[in-house]
Amino acid sequence: MNDWTADEMMSVAAARALRDVTSCFVGIGLPSTAANLARRTHATGLVLVYEAGAIGAKPPRLPLSIGDGILAETADAVVTVPEIFNYWVQPGRIDVGFLGAAQLDRFGNINTTVIGGDYAHPKVRLPGAGGAPEIAASCREVIVIVRQSKRSFVETVDFITSVGHLTGPGERERLGLLGRGPTQVITDLGILEPEAGTCELRLTHLHPGVDVEQARAATGWQLAVADDVTTTDPPTAEELEALRALQASVEQVPQ
């Protein structure tokens, strides 16, 4: 039996996807956990950028929101929200955008706006876009972290909040978007990457103990699978220790 959970494997795999000495625009939740884990392990020079204006944040615990004061207290610089987007994100100066999703389709288009029905009368109204559309459009690449199920991996998203590869090759270029779009989708089952010729997400990695049929059963479209699917290396003791310390840090915040 593994001494780690599927969520821990997902967070570790996502942290590994981040390279040292790069800039990363971090969403709250799973992206923030993975980005802070990366900075505490292999990517100590990773520059964390948060939407509220913190650049180079080094929080000693997981922030509770993009406006958590601990981000400003530990940042290299704090700028206004308009400057973050007008000067840093939209001109393509951020290396990696790290996003979550409520729904995701085969081309990496993200929905965090509404589920079911139409926009005015949805079954569920979600938190919305925030800065995600600009991040998805203009960061040099985007990594998405999301738990994989037929509820989240859908044939067609109910609303495109943040563009992935739209309907395939050339669509981002047609719209004049600067970034490459989603380069990896990291889940609790494995890793998907866009296929070069179609931009369709294809399963390239499976986490230990997961098989292809499990991944297909958790996907709302006919999942493409690479010929040479790789098994993800399990979390190391050091990665687990750092991750669990991060998660415990939130529990210690006074309510």
> Domain count of the chain?
1
Q: What is the Cα–Cα distance from 47 to 67, expressed in whole angstroms?
A: 17
Residues that are catalytic: 51
Q: Is residue 116 part of a domain?
A: yes
Q: Tell me whether residue 55 is in a domain.
A: yes
- The CA distance from 111 to 123, in Å, is 14
pLDDT at 254: 60
Q: Is residue 1 a part of any domain in this protein?
A: no
CATH number for the domain harbouring residue 62: 3.40.1080.10
pLDDT for the residue numbered 252: 63
Question: DSSP E strands: which ranges in the chain?
Answer: 23-26, 47-49, 54-55, 77-78, 96-99, 103-104, 110-111, 114-117, 122-125, 141-145, 182-186, 190-194, 201-206, 224-231
For the entire predicted model, the pTM comes to 0.94
Residue 191: inside a domain: yes
Give pLDDT < 70 ranges for the chain: 1, 251-255
The answer to whether residue 65 is domain-embedded is yes
Task: Give the domain range for residue 194.
Answer: 6-251
- The pLDDT of residue 28 is 83
Would you state the pLDDT for residue 128? 87
Give one word for 54, left, alpha or beta, with left for phi > 0 and alpha for psi -120 to 50: beta
- What pLDDT score does 114 carry? 96
Report if residue 234 sits inside a domain. yes
